[in-house]
Amino acid sequence: MKKRFLATLMIVAMSASMLAGCGSSNDAATDNAAATDDAAATDDAAATDDAEATDDAAAEGEQKLTVWCWDPSFNIYAMETAAEYYKKDHPNVTVEVVETPWDDIQPLITNAASTGEYSQLPDILLMQDNAFQKNAISYPDLFVDLTDSGIDFSQFAAGKLGYSTVGGRNYGVPFDNGAVIACYRTDILEQAGYTIDDLTDITWSRFEEISSDVQAKTGYYLLSERTGEIDLIMMMLQSAGASMFDENGAAVIADNAALKNVVETFNSLVDNNALLLTQQNWDEYIKSFNSGSAAGVINGCWIMGSIQAAEDQAGKWAITNMPKLDGIDGATNYSNNGGSSWAVTTNCKNVELATDFLNSTFCGSVDFYAEILPSSGAIATWAPAAEADVYGEPSEFFSGDAVFKKVVDFSTKTPSNNTGVYYYEARNAVATAITNIQNGGNIDDELANAQATVEAQMQ
């Protein structure tokens, strides 16, 4: 027993010393490398070594951009492809992508901005649209103003561009599309005697009739949502061009006719078996339509990837627009959920290079967007991209429909939404209100409570 313990200890100690040895020699090696070929690591060098190395490197023409984003099959792939495109004309420029989940990007930004120590930030980072206003306004020194950088922002859909625009200035280059699509299982619809056309350009009250009917006949719901999450409610709200905040940034949660209508519609869907409530976790939500009792999904177009994971359901899904609210001015069948934009940080030592890179790829190359579309499903928000032929190609999975063209079309019709700075606070307060209303609370009282909660947080 004793021997075994000592043996283990010895092994650990030995491997530690070996590793420590390796470690230091490795470090030395990387240091050398950094001094010679890799010296172009602009921010690297600035963070650790003296600035001279950077200048030397710049003279040699080697340049590097560091980027933070988080999805290998989606935005990382897009960024790496963009880098390849750019390298063709600028062989001296390399792009290093550091895979960083969104849940980490926010703490890292907060650390940097709170302490004023920006040196660790990358040149470019991907920002969730819903958090853009909050970060740009709370940390005015964080992002580079791109308004006069030569990028033609008019080529992006107005609804999308709004997220990254603060006080009329552009701080972000819109990237992926969050246009809302409604997807339904055509085989289930057929069983109940409906077609996809019956669900196109309809109102929520019509949807409720059909969905309850389908549920009664087949046991399948045409829609699911996570308990306590309000993605759907936010989508419904935006579809009527309404927000939780007014232009001055004041919260409008109580006395908001559109929001009240949305909440009533939502509750009516639940009460009439037209909407399935799953657990609050994402995997349970996915499961509901991959294998559970949901035969329909309404969400941002990026949800297509998760639907397509169920390969055995190929050809059984079809895409159309979402239902619209009844009796509300400005109600449409279009909305947005999710999506993100690229931002250039103030730690970027070569803003010209960064903007030129973005300008010639994400806002300048139809071919680039055409290349990333098929394997990533990253649908552009840059209008000219939709001209590419691939956008018109039919999707086998979605019943031979030209889905990408459809999504781009939807996104141009989407009303814009004012997330405000306090978006996440308001979301949480409204979600709490919805749960309380479902448990028998009075709708006006609960929304008034939510309003009070948010106002208290805005102090």
Partner 1 sequence: MEKAKARKLSQSKRYNLTGWVFLTPAALLIAVFSFYPMIKCFIYSFQKGSTFANMQWYGINNYIRMFQDKVFMKSLGNTFIYFLIQVPIMLILALILASMLNNKDLKFKGFFRTAIFLPCATTLVSYAIIFRSLFSTDGFVNTILMKLGILDAPFAFLTNTTGARAVIILALVWRWTGYNMVFYLSGLQNIEYSVYEAAKIDGASPLQSFFHITVPLLKPTILLTAIMSTNGTLQLFDESVNLTNGGPANSSITMSHYIYDTTFKYVPNFGYSCAMSILILILVGTLAFIQMKVGDKRD
Partner 2 sequence: MISLPKKIAQYAFLIIFSLFSIFPLIWMAIAATNQSIDVIRGKMIPGTYLIENYKALIAQSDLWHAMGNSFKYSIVVTLLSLIVCSLAGYGFEIYHDKFKDGLMSVILLAMMVPFVATMIPLFGMMAKMGFLNTVAGFVLPSISTPFLIMLFRQSARSFPHDIIEAARIDGLGEFQIFVRMFFPTMRSTYAAAMTITFMNAWNNYLWPKVIMNKPETQTMPMLVSNLTAGYVTDYGMLMLAVLFCTLPTVIIFFCLQKSFAEGITGAVK
Q: Which is nearer to partner 2, 68 or 85 (CB)?
A: 68
Choosing among partner 1, partner 2, none, which partner's interface includes residue 71 (Cβ < 5 to 8 Å by kind)? Answer: partner 2
Total residues contacting partner 2 by CB under 8 A comes to: 54
DSSP per position, 172-207: -EE-B--BEEEEEEHHHHHHTT--GGGGTT-BHHHH
Site string for partner 1, 203-242 (x = CB under 8 A): ------------------------xxx-------------
Q: Residue 125: which residues within 8 A CB-CB, separation 6 or more?
A: 67, 68, 69, 100, 105, 109, 342, 343, 345
Q: Is residue 435 involved in binding partner 1 (CB under 8 A)?
A: yes
Q: Does 422 bind partner 1 (CB under 8 A)?
A: yes
Partner that binds at residue 298, options partner 2, partner 1, none, CB closer than 5 to 8 Å by kind: none
**Which bin fits 400, alpha (ψ -120 to 50), beta or left (φ > 0)?**
left
The smaller minimum CB distance to partner 1, of residues 321 and 345, is found at: 345
Contact letters for partner 1, residues 92-111 (x by CB under 8 A): --------------xx--x-
What is the C-alpha separation between 83 and 410, in angstroms, rounded? 29
- Window 132 to 161, contacts with partner 1 (CB under 8 A): 134, 138-139
Among 90, 102, 279, 458, binds partner 2 (CB under 8 A): 102
Residue 324: closest CA among 212, 236, 417, 409: 236
Q: How many whole angstroms from its chain centre is CA 237?
A: 18
CA distance 318 to 190: 12
- The answer to the question of residue 384 lying near partner 1 (CB under 8 A) is no
Q: Binding of partner 1 at residue 254 (CB under 8 A)?
A: no
Q: Kindly state the smallest distance separating residue 103's Cβ from partner 1, in Å.
A: 9
Backbone phi, psi, residue 170, to 5°: -95, 125
Task: Tell me the closest approach of the beta carbon of residue 450 to partner 1, in angstroms.
Answer: 11
- Between strands 180-185 and 276-278, the pairing is unpaired
Pick the stretch among 100-108, 154-162, 200-208, 421-429 that binds partner 2 (CB under 8 A): 100-108
Residue number with CB closer to partner 2 (159 or 300): 300
120 sits near partner 2 (criterion: CB under 8 A): yes
CA distance 164 to 136: 8
Q: Is 280 in the site for partner 1 (CB under 8 A)?
A: yes
Q: Using the 8-state DSSP alphabet, how is residue 394 labeled?
A: P
Question: With binding defined as CB under 8 A, does residue 35 bind partner 2?
Answer: no
Residue 331 near residue 257 (C-beta atoms within 8 A): no
Burial of residue 413, with CB atoms counted within 10 A of its CB: 0-12 exposed, 13-18 middle, 19 or more buried: middle
Maximum alpha-carbon separation in the chain:
81
Q: How far is CA 358 from the centre of its chain?
A: 18
Q: What phi and psi, each to the nearest 5 degrees, are found at residue 434?
A: -60, -45
Choose the one of partner 2, partner 1, none that binds residue 195, judging by a C-beta under 5 to 8 angstroms depending on kind: none
Conformational region of residue 75, where left means phi above 0, alpha means psi within -120 to 50, and beta covers everything else: alpha
List the one residue from 72, 91, 140, 374 that touches partner 2 (CB under 8 A): 72
Residue 65: enclosing H or E segment and its boundaries?
A: strand 63-69
The nearest distance, CB 330 to partner 1, in angstroms, is: 28
For partner 1, the binding residue among 155, 203, 279, 416 (CB under 8 A) is 279
Among 20, 158, 309, 456, binds partner 1 (CB under 8 A): 456
Rule CB under 8 A: say whether 257 interacts with partner 2. Answer: no
In angstroms, the CA 218 to CA 210 distance is: 12
**Rounded to an integer, what distance in angstroms lies between the CA atom of residue 139 and that of residue 133?**
10
Instruction: Mark residues 278-317: x for contact with partner 2 by CB under 8 A, - for none.
Output: -----x--xx--xx----------xx-xx--xxx------
182 interacts with, out of partner 1, partner 2, none, CB within 5 to 8 A per kind: none
Start-to-end CA span in the chain (Å): 63
What size, in residues, is the chain? 459
- Determine the Cα–Cα distance for residues 181 and 303; give it in Å rounded to an integer: 9
CB 194 within 8 A of CB 214: yes
Angle at 328 between CA 270 and CA 206, to 5 degrees: 45
CB 324 within 8 A of CB 240: yes
If one asks whether residue 108 binds partner 2 (CB under 8 A), the answer comes out as: yes
Q: Closest approach of Cβ 6 to partner 1, in Å?
A: 16
Q: Of 416 and 435, which CB lies nearer to partner 1 in the complex structure? A: 435
| Interface positions with partner 1 (CB under 8 A) | 106-107, 110, 113-116, 134, 138-139, 227-229, 277-281, 283-284, 287, 292, 421-422, 424-425, 428, 431-432, 435-436, 439, 453, 456-459
What residues line the site for partner 2 (CB under 8 A)? 1-2, 4-5, 8-9, 12-13, 15-16, 19-20, 22-23, 27, 30, 47-48, 68, 70-74, 96, 98-104, 107-108, 110-111, 114-115, 117, 119-120, 283, 286-287, 290-291, 302-303, 305-306, 309-311, 338
